[in-house]
């Protein structure tokens, strides 16, 4: 049934539908599910920080009161962290350079609203990449221009990108979304790509999504000082282990931040999530201590999987790896299905599999199961 009051273009729209691990558990009767399909941290919040968060909830949070909508304290902590992690002067970025969101998705949506709605612009993405840029743009009726990546190293086709920027006029490209490192492929921007972004016209908003910065330790945040049309997105959902709390943030020129604050919904972050993010910032060195194990495990996975000639495995600078099958008698869908049946959940995407780096035990089982399937 078509509802007469709904936009006609939404009828054929397919909503984002993350796979739920409970469904596979019910069909296989497995007790242990290795959930390696959503790039979450393999480690939970440490017990001592969970206890601190519980005490904060009991002592400081009043359920009948709205949360702090200014986010000022958290913004200050984040600004200090950004300056420190990028080895910048302590005064480079302040709370006026930060906007807090309900996950990075909300910020992406706010950026789209602020730059492209009402037919004023389209967005440019290089596929394969994070799917939410296209999904959110479609919900707002914003055109999407897609350009390819090199099939060998996933570098952006800069010739196609340049052609799109200067030849598409109705509506013109207003915002470019880039993930650094890219998801699902794990590659960081190369020098040519960075130079291309630097030379874009000032009337184009450049959005650099650094969701996996803590794993890559490669950031372009210092470029914001020179290029006021740039925005850097970050998240607490990965290395900071707070996926359940949905906290994202962006760093940008204060004038851009003031516009995004106009678009942001009031009271968008629950008090409990704000408390969790503050504790994470206060204890960021403790939380980020697990990054080294993730990187070590990632490199082990890549090395072991490359021993099988049936697989093509790319280098990664994030907390996941991307693989494709080179075996003529075994396709990606079959491998994915057999992995799910054995209890390992991975993401089937762009004719490949994206595998989150888990705990050592999870990674060991993943390797054993993949080897069993390929044999």
Candidate from 82-86, 224-228, 236-240, 330-334 with smallest mean pLDDT? 330-334
How confident is the model over 28-65, as pLDDT tens digits? Answer: 554 579 999 999 999 999 999 999 999 999 999 999 99
Half-sphere CA count of 299, side-chain side, radius 13 A: 8
The confidence score (pLDDT) of residue 8 equals 82
The confidence score (pLDDT) of residue 283 equals 98
Instruction: Between 17 and 56, name the one with better pLDDT.
Output: 56
The confidence score (pLDDT) of residue 26 equals 46
For the cut 50, the answer to whether the pLDDT of residue 27 exceeds it is no
Instruction: Name residues whose C-beta falls within 8 Å of residue 53's C-beta, 6 or more positions apart in sequence.
Output: 45, 272, 275, 276, 279
Q: Write down the pTM of the prediction.
A: 0.94
Domains (range + CATH), the chain: 8-45+289-374 (3.90.1150.10), 49-287 (3.40.640.10)
How confident is the model over 132-170, as pLDDT tens digits? Answer: 999 999 999 999 999 999 999 999 999 999 999 999 999
Instruction: Name residues whose C-beta falls within 8 Å of residue 68's C-beta, 6 or more positions apart in sequence.
Output: 271, 274
How confident is the model over 319-358, as pLDDT tens digits? Answer: 999 999 987 788 999 999 999 999 999 999 999 999 999 9
């Amino acid at each position: 049934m078509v509802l007469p009051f709904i936009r006609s273009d939404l009828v054929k729209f397919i909503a984002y539908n993350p796979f739920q691990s409970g469904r596979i558990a019910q069909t296989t009767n497995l007790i242990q599910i290795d959930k390696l399909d959503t790039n979450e941290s393999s480690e939970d919040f440490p017990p001592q920080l969970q206890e601190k968060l519980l005490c904060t909830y009991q002592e400081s949070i009043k359920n009948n009161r709205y949360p702090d909508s200014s986010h000022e304290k958290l913004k200050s902590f984040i600004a200090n962290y950004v300056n420190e992690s990028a080895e910048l002067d302590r005064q480079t970025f302040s709370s006026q350079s930060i906007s807090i969101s309900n996950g990075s998705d909300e910020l992406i949506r706010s950026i789209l609203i602020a730059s492209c709605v009402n037919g004023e612009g389209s967005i440019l993405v290089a596929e394969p990449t994070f799917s939410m840029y296209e999904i959110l743009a479609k919900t707002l009726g914003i055109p999407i221009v897609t350009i390819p990546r090199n099939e060998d190293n996933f570098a952006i086709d800069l010739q196609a990108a340049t052609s799109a920027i200067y030849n598409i006029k109705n509506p013109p490209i207003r915002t470019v979304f880039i993930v650094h490192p890219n998801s699902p492929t794990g590659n960081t921007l190369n020098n040519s790509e960075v130079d291309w972004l630097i030379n874009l016209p000032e009337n184009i908003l450049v959005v650099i999504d650094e969701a996996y910065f803590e794993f890559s330790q490669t950031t372009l945040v210092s470029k914001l000082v020179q290029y006021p049309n740039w925005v850097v997105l970050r998240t607490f959902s990965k290395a900071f282990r707070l996926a359940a709390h949905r906290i994202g943030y962006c760093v940008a020129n204060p004038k851009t931040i003031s516009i995004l604050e106009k678009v942001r919904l009031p009271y968008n972050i629950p008090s409990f999530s704000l408390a969790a993010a503050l504790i994470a910032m206060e204890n960021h060195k403790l939380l980020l201590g697990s990054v080294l194990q993730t990187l070590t495990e990632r490199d082990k996975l890549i090395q072991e999987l490359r021993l099988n000639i049936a697989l093509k495995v790319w280098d990664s600078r994030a907390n996941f790896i991307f693989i494709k099958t080179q075996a003529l008698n075994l396709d990606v869908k079959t491998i994915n299905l057999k992995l799910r049946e054995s209890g390992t959940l991975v993401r089937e995407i762009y004719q490949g599999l994206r595998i989150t780096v888990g705990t050592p035990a999870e990674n060991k089982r993943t390797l054993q199961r993949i080897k069993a399937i390929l044999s």
